[in-house]
Amino acid sequence: MASQSHCEHCHEKIIIPVFLSDEESDIVFCCEGCKTVYEILQEKNLTDYYRLREQTAQTNPTAVKISGQKYKYLDDPEFKQKYTIISNQTLQITFYLENIHCLACLWLIEKLPEINHEVLNSKLNMSKSTVDITLLEDAKISQIAQQLESLGYPPHPIMEEKELKEHKIKEDHKDLIRIAIAFFSTGNIMLMAFAVYAGATGHIEKYFNWISLFLFFPIIFYCAIPFYRNAFSSLKNKLISIDLPIVIALLFGGTFSLFSVLNDDTHIYFDSLSMLIFLLLTSRFLLKKSQQKGLEASELSNFFTHLIAYKVEDDQTLKEVNAKFLLPNDIIYIYPGDTIPADAQVIQGTSKVNNSLLTGEVIPQPIQAGEYIFSGTINLDQELTAKVIHTGQDSKLGQILSAVEHGWNQKTKIVSLTDQIAKYFVLGVFLLSFFVFSYFIFQGRIEDAFIRTLTLVIITCPCALGLTTPLTLTISLAKLAKKGIIIKNELVLEMTNKIKNIIFDKTGTLTHGKFQVIKWESLDRSNYFNVIYQLESKSQHPIAKSITDYLKAYYLDEIKQSLELTHYTETPGIGPSGTVHNDFYELNQIKAEINSNTLIGLYKNHMLVTKIHLSDSLKPDAYNIIKKLKNLNYNIYLLSGDNKLSVQKVASDLEILPQNTFYEQSPQDKQEFIKKTPNSMMLGDGANDAIALSFADIGVAIHGSVDISLRASSVFMATKDLQNILRLLISGKETLHIIKRNLIFSLLYNSLGLILAIQGYIDPLAAAIIMPLSSFTVLASTLIGTKKLRQNLS
Amino acid sequence: MDILFLTLPLALILALIFIGIFIYSVKLGQYDDLDTPSYKMLLDDEKDKTKNELKGKDL
């Protein structure tokens, strides 16, 4: 049992305790959300959850935050039609769930049918955090969504493109079957080959060779199809990939061996060739699987945003709809604290809007009737009524997102190191075989000419070369993913070595992206922590939240004491006020200071007694990281949409050169900057960085990214830890180092084989030894090398 | 050596049976999600526990 000062459910420190309503017990919670989960679990006899979590979870769960979302739009027929699959009077829907983190989550989610009897089946995919739920056809989806949220897993529906999904599953099945058949053939061919090498002769040898030949057919006609396809498609694009020499060796070797079987000759290479195909297929499958962790870009574009809009109906009532279903000319009502659902023109009301998503500006902008507000920004102060102008794709945010997609498509493809080498490799082998062939022809040794050239082609097949890169990348990607660095394109790791310029966004990347108290100035020697806490804790304003967070963190004892506050009022746009012990207190923003900080004042009977300085402060490790990067000879740039003063302050704090600092940058400015800066890595978190991220050689989206589609950038950092930038760069370097070392190994083996082949020493037995030996050397080198990688990462 | 004449084909037939079973299980979708089952095996079986027993144990 948790100690008294910790929440029974989430184990966080309790600030204001919430007790179980009906019983006298020492079980306390940090918030209503956690209490609700606990009660649901008790009621449904699902308390095994806690026992499981104790045993398996490495991290504590987060406190349950209930948004109070009603998810009503989930019951709209229009939604059902688009997002669910209906068959046999059941309904299937897929949600992405937040906060999935351990076995206990899995257990609880799969118990969903016991909690809600309309749920027939629920299946969680841990690596993607998605759950497939089967329901009765007339079940209310909104109710299930609410239940998921009250269990602490806010759900986001995902539209499944049925055909795409089925296609992907079929591809996976085919891959697995190919590997299995390759393994089956290889294993049996090797049994036969061993018998022959061990000395089986005469009719036994002949009989075994014929079986091997038949076992080799599935390899060459079925398992190797992906290699033919890749080799052919890259040839069509006038490229030479590593698959081409593999295919050449396979086809030549296969035909050569076939004739040998027919003519009772000994040059039979079925065992080496099939083993090679099996190893290559396996390593590529593993790489593919390690990239598929997490949601894919195609799934993200269908991600259903949770943006709720309140539509004013003709009879002046409000209807809750999802932002996706808004149309131009609809009238919407926007509550303070809500995200604005569409580009709109304000008809009624004045307020302040936080534009940081679009511009990077932290300081709220005043807005009044007639002015325009944009989708994705946040209404801070007061209710607004507005007329919708653009929605979805046409909105400013939508345009940015389509520009992002455009950026991805335009980007030049990175050619992997192996494919670069493959080009010279193929050329080299081709020239050599030509010379060898002509040499023996001139000498009049026609049989030797054929046999030696063919063994040359087979033995130089770059199997180790093809094997090493996928394996090294698979291991590196998996290790980085454990640290919260999710890489969608494996070539990013090779690319990190070309990076010279690192470009940072300010808000949310180097800073926290929200106001924090940086200075507390007491003017009459007494603290008013509790008074301020009581006043601010009732307000929804973001600044109020920053102040209460600060007080909770540092002056917990003071604010726990009870205090009688009367006559509380909050004047929108100005601040809260109230009376304590006959003194009248009010909190106001103090205007027009020269520096970029925001200043809040507490007035006691109209006398200023406390000043609170707030600012969007730097992340604690920002300075050290920038310094380390500078020591590693990277050029650091700061590119922000925020105003001159705040940007310059951050730049000087971080010692970024003034000529490398740019302020008031629009998304397009950022894009232009990236375009003319080669070898760049860009880090950002807002939609205003999204275009630049997609054009940068490496775009890194940082945790907290407002729009989920940013997760589709080539690198996504799932933690706020800036240390991960260094991890990414260092492991990129080391991965390339391992790949290079492996390339040298495999080229050495190939040269050895080459010399032996020309001299005529290579027979099937020698090939059967040399080829697997080179593969295993490379494997061992990869495993040893990546072990070092893990030590460096921690 | 002649025994190989018999045993190797036998091994081949055995392998053929296994590959048939494997392809069948792939088609059934047993390998579609390779991560979640690795967690699931840690869960205890609950089949023999009735709801009442659970109640008595946990409350």
Could you tell me the CATH number of the domain that includes residue A373? Answer: 2.70.150.10
The confidence score (pLDDT) of residue A302 equals 47
Which residues, 6+ apart, have CB-to-CB distance to A532 below 8 Å? A547, A551, A587, A602, A610, A612
- CB B4 to CB A47 under 8 A? no
First-last CA distance in chain B: 69
- CB B23 to CB A180 under 8 A? yes
The minimum CA-CA distance between A195 and chain B, rounded to whole Å, is 8
Instruction: Note the pLDDT tens digit of each residue in A520-558.
Output: 887 777 778 888 888 887 776 767 778 888 887 777 777
Scan residues 148-207 of A and list those with Cβ closer than 8 Å to B. Answer: 169, 172-173, 176-177, 180-181, 184, 187-188, 191-192, 195, 199-200, 204, 207
Q: Tell whether B1 is covered by a domain.
A: no
Q: Tell whether A28 is covered by a domain.
A: no
Q: Tell whether A31 is covered by a domain.
A: no
Q: Tell whether B39 is covered by a domain.
A: yes
Contact call for residues A205 and A268 (beta carbons, < 8 A): no
Higher-confidence position of A35 and A271:
A271
Higher-confidence position of A264 and A9:
A264
Asked if A710 and A742 sit in the same domain, the reply is no
Tell me the CATH number at A122: 3.30.70.100
Asked if A319 and A421 sit in the same domain, the reply is no
Q: Tell whether B24 is covered by a domain.
A: yes
Asked which of A18-32, A451-465, A525-539 is least confident by mean pLDDT, the reply is: A18-32
Interatomic CA distance for residues A475 and A487, integer angstroms:
12
Q: Tell whether A46 is covered by a domain.
A: no
Residue A625's domain comprises: 485-512+619-718
Contact call for residues A367 and A349 (beta carbons, < 8 A): no
Interatomic CA distance for residues A88 and A90, integer angstroms:
5
Q: Tell whether B32 is covered by a domain.
A: yes
Asked if A492 and A632 sit in the same domain, the reply is yes
- Long-range contact set of residues A213-217: C-beta below 8 Å, sequence gap at least 24: A213/A257, A213/A258, A213/A261, A213/A270, A215/A185, A215/A188, A215/A189, A215/A270, A215/A274, A215/B12, A216/A185, A216/A189, A216/A254, A216/A257, A216/A270, A216/A273, A216/A274
Q: Which of A169, A172, A188 faces B15 most closely, judged by CB atoms?
A: A188
Q: Which of B9, B22, B33 faces A125 most closely, judged by CB atoms?
A: B33
- CB B16 to CB A200 under 8 A? no
Burial class of residue A220, CB neighbours in 10 A (0-12, 13-18, 19+): buried
Q: Tell whether A558 is covered by a domain.
A: yes
The alpha carbon dihedral of A666, A667, A668, A672 has a sign of positive
Domain count within chain B: 1
Q: Tell whether A40 is covered by a domain.
A: no
- CB B11 to CB A124 under 8 A? no
Q: Could you tell me what percent of chain A has a pLDDT over 70? A: 87
- CB B34 to CB A200 under 8 A? no
Backbone angles phi, psi at A144, to 5 degrees: -65, -40
Asked if A499 and A628 sit in the same domain, the reply is yes
Asked if A438 and A569 sit in the same domain, the reply is no
Asked which of A264-273, A384-393, A506-515 is least confident by mean pLDDT, the reply is: A506-515
Higher-confidence position of A403 and A449:
A449
Our CA angle for A420, A424, A428, nearest 5°, is 160
Asked which of A189-203, A479-493, A738-752 is least confident by mean pLDDT, the reply is: A479-493
Task: Provide the 3-class DSSP secondary structure of residue A775.
Answer: helix
Q: Tell whether A405 is covered by a domain.
A: no
The confidence score (pLDDT) of residue A180 equals 95
pLDDT-derived band at B54, boundaries 50, 70, 90: very low
Contact call for residues A653 and A511 (beta carbons, < 8 A): no
Chain A residues touching B22 at Cβ < 8 A = 177, 180
Asked if A551 and A597 sit in the same domain, the reply is yes
Q: Tell whether A762 is covered by a domain.
A: yes
- CB A106 to CB B32 under 8 A? no
Burial class of residue B56, CB neighbours in 10 A (0-12, 13-18, 19+): exposed
Q: Tell whether B49 is covered by a domain.
A: no
Q: Tell whether B57 is covered by a domain.
A: no
Tell me the CATH number at A658: 3.40.50.1000
Contact call for residues A529 and A555 (beta carbons, < 8 A): yes
Asked if A419 and A545 sit in the same domain, the reply is no
Between strands A485-487 and A372-373, the pairing is unpaired
Q: Which of A187, A207, A289 faces B15 most closely, judged by CB atoms?
A: A187
Residue B14's domain comprises: 10-43
- Please choose, from the candidates A363, A352, A378, the residue with its C-alpha nearest in 3D space to the C-alpha of residue A593: A363
Across-strand partners of A385?
A333, A348
Q: Which of A176, A187, A188 faces B26 most closely, judged by CB atoms?
A: A176
Q: Tell whether B4 is covered by a domain.
A: no
CA dihedral A524, A529, A531, A533 (to 10 degrees): 150
Interatomic CA distance for residues A225 and A204, integer angstroms:
32
DSSP string for residues in A372-416: EE-TT-EE-SS-EEEEEEE-GGGSHHHHHHHHHHHHHHHSPPPPP
Interatomic CA distance for residues A728 and A731, integer angstroms:
5
Q: Could you tell me what percent of chain A has a pLDDT over 90? A: 9
Q: What is the largest CA-CA distance in chain B?
A: 70
Interatomic CA distance for residues B50 and A396, integer angstroms:
57
Task: Provide the 3-class DSSP secondary structure of residue A522.
Answer: strand
Distance of CA A305 to the CA centre of its chain: 17
The chain B residue lying nearest A171, using CA atoms, is: B32
Task: Provide the 3-class DSSP secondary structure of residue A544.
Answer: helix
Chain B residues touching A187 at Cβ < 8 A = 15
- Please choose, from the candidates A149, A493, A75, A73, the residue with its C-alpha nearest in 3D space to the C-alpha of residue A310: A73
Instruction: Note the pLDDT tens digit of each residue in A658-667.
Output: 888 988 887 7
The minimum CA-CA distance between B39 and chain A, rounded to whole Å, is 6
- Please choose, from the candidates A119, A63, A60, A62, the residue with its C-alpha nearest in 3D space to the C-alpha of residue A95: A119
Per residue in B6-45, is it b (16+ CB within 10 Å) or e — as a string?
eebeeebeebeeebeebeeebeeeebebeebeebeeeeee
Higher-confidence position of A91 and A277:
A277
Asked if A534 and A498 sit in the same domain, the reply is no
The confidence score (pLDDT) of residue B24 equals 94
Asked if A561 and A574 sit in the same domain, the reply is yes
Asked if A645 and A789 sit in the same domain, the reply is no
Chain A residues touching B4 at Cβ < 8 A = 195, 200, 204, 208
Contact call for residues A666 and A678 (beta carbons, < 8 A): no
The minimum CA-CA distance between B48 and chain A, rounded to whole Å, is 15
Q: Tell whether B16 is covered by a domain.
A: yes
Interatomic CA distance for residues A792 and A493, integer angstroms:
16
Contact call for residues A650 and A682 (beta carbons, < 8 A): no
H and E: helices and strands count for chain A: 27, 29
Instruction: Note the pLDDT tens digit of each residue in A719-757.
Output: 777 888 888 998 888 888 888 888 888 888 888 888 888
Contact call for residues A470 and A781 (beta carbons, < 8 A): no
- Please choose, from the candidates A501, A458, A490, A456, the residue with its C-alpha nearest in 3D space to the C-alpha of residue A739: A490
pLDDT-derived band at A608, boundaries 50, 70, 90: confident
Q: Tell whether A691 is covered by a domain.
A: yes
Interatomic CA distance for residues A508 and A505, integer angstroms:
8
Domain count within chain A: 5
pLDDT-derived band at A776, boundaries 50, 70, 90: confident
